Amino acid sequence: MLLDGNRRRSRAAPRPPRRRRPVLGLAIALPVAVLGVPATSYVSALTAPGSADWQTTSVEWVRDHGGGPLVDAVENWWYAHNRPTGTAPAAGTLPTEAPPVTPSAGSSAAAVGPARPPALPLLAGRPPLAHEAEWIPNPDGGPTPALYSAYFRPDPTYPSQIVGVAWMNQNLTATHLFAGTAEPVAGTTPSAAQVPPELRRRLVGVFNSGWKMRDSHGGFFAAGKTLVALQDGAASLVIDTSGRVTVGRWGRDLRPGPDVAAVRQNLDLIVDGGRAVDGITDNATGAWGTPHNQFQYTWRSGLGTDASGNLLYVAGDQLDLAGLADAMTAAGVQRGMELDIHPKTVTFTIIRPARSGAGLVATKLLPGMVNPPDRYLRPDHRDFLAVTLRGAP
């Protein structure tokens, strides 16, 4: 049985506030009737397998039927006016689990073994929040935790802004790329568009992939098949035959070969050589989407590797693209790429065995992530990644 929890939160713990988006919802729903496409197409989209609610499905349907410019205009207006405010995060948005032995703030003392998560920064001149920048080991059943999680505040200009980080030791984990029923191309069966049963007892985390393929400027290769052609220069998440992830630029850092098991491309790199790449603040070349996309303050996620080759997933709300890149470098990413953006797509779930030994316990990296924690443990329409402990099934 999958349990929905938020890191030992009490039953009385407040739920994170849900931000209403009436203007965006209305602007997206109305064109469904106006565009004149047969209603059966829309109904089919609403009833397709996956975790998307009707609002998200409507947005994607409008984009698919010529409404992309309208969606972009509404989103750009909404998110550009949704900047972070306040001097502290809203109640209910912070993880509450404490390390088994609480280290000093901003340290990595909770980590064990030769591979350690990097120290995370604290805001200068401000008292730390509860367990801010402290690493929480995931009790995944292995002799040494393979995954640690933490949160921190990356930008002193916006002290209410938080990001979550999941650090995964690639000597102890293997990563797997799965297609969804609709992305990267339609046709994957529902049974194959979820974490397969044989991997679940070794599962430590699942998370979202990149943009829809038509917007990603990249390709997709998995299970020996190229479903969408790979593009030179694209930011690429490459999984080798041992399950180890490398992030880099296709054609410069990474190339086809017999040891490549899967490739997921998305836009251009945003972190290279341990720093944000040039041009990220203005997107003059359109490398990261539409001209104003990078200025939207919205949920964003990114993936990269640190100097020792460990894998880091970074995500948070009310981030623009430059803010995401800065958060990734602060977390220790040496080379990294943006994954998906917006509330209904950014998902990272930490998985551990139930204490009873039967079933799994699922925990959101950040409480504000809106998708249910069993996403990807049931059929989903989008491609995704799963991280498991190494070893025999």
Residue with tokens 């402290």: 134
Do residues 49 and 198 both lie within one domain?
Answer: no
How high does pLDDT run on average in the chain? 84
- Give pLDDT, residue 364: 97
Task: Let me know if residue 16 belongs to a domain.
Answer: no
List alpha helices for the chain, DSSP H. Answer: 22-34, 39-47, 54-62, 68-80, 197-200, 213-216, 321-330
Q: What would the mean pLDDT of 301-317 be, rounded to a whole number?
A: 97
Do residues 75 and 178 both lie within one domain?
Answer: no
Do residues 58 and 190 both lie within one domain?
Answer: no
Q: What is the pTM of this model?
A: 0.84
The token duo for 73 is 């205009």
Confidence of residue 82 (pLDDT cuts 50, 70, 90): confident
d(CA 246, CA 225): 19
For the chain, the distance separating the N- and C-terminal CA atoms, rounded to the nearest angstrom, is 19
d(CA 86, CA 158): 8
Residue 147, φ and ψ in degrees, nearest 5: -135, 135
Do residues 74 and 186 both lie within one domain?
Answer: no
Do residues 182 and 73 both lie within one domain?
Answer: no
Task: Let me know if residue 317 belongs to a domain.
Answer: yes
Task: Let me know if residue 102 belongs to a domain.
Answer: no
Task: Let me know if residue 379 belongs to a domain.
Answer: yes
Measuring CA to CA, which residue among 89, 18, 97 is closest to residue 350?
Answer: 97
Domain count, the chain: 2
Q: Which of 34, 59, 80 is the last residue of a domain?
A: 80
* Comparison of pLDDT for 289 and 82, the residue scoring more: 289
Do residues 251 and 354 both lie within one domain?
Answer: yes
Out of 25-39, 59-73, 339-353, the most confident range is 339-353
d(CA 195, CA 375): 10
Q: Is 179 left (phi over 0), alpha (psi -120 to 50) or beta?
A: beta
**Neighbouring-strand partners of residue 177:** 385
Confidence of residue 108 (pLDDT cuts 50, 70, 90): very low
Do residues 67 and 186 both lie within one domain?
Answer: no
- Give pLDDT, residue 125: 87
Task: Let me know if residue 142 belongs to a domain.
Answer: no
Q: Which of 60, 80, 100 is the last residue of a domain?
A: 80
Do residues 223 and 340 both lie within one domain?
Answer: yes
Other Cβ atoms less than 10 A from the Cβ of 128: the count is 15
Percent of the chain beyond pLDDT 90? 62
d(CA 300, CA 345): 9
Q: Which of 58, 80, 102 is the last residue of a domain?
A: 80
The token duo for 329 is 């470098």
* Comparison of pLDDT for 217 and 24, the residue scoring more: 217
* Comparison of pLDDT for 146 and 357, the residue scoring more: 146
Do residues 182 and 278 both lie within one domain?
Answer: yes
Task: Let me know if residue 279 belongs to a domain.
Answer: yes
Task: Let me know if residue 94 belongs to a domain.
Answer: no
Do residues 248 and 360 both lie within one domain?
Answer: yes
Residue 318, φ and ψ in degrees, nearest 5: 55, 45
Task: Let me know if residue 119 belongs to a domain.
Answer: no
Residue-number span of the structural domain to which 65 is assigned:
22-80
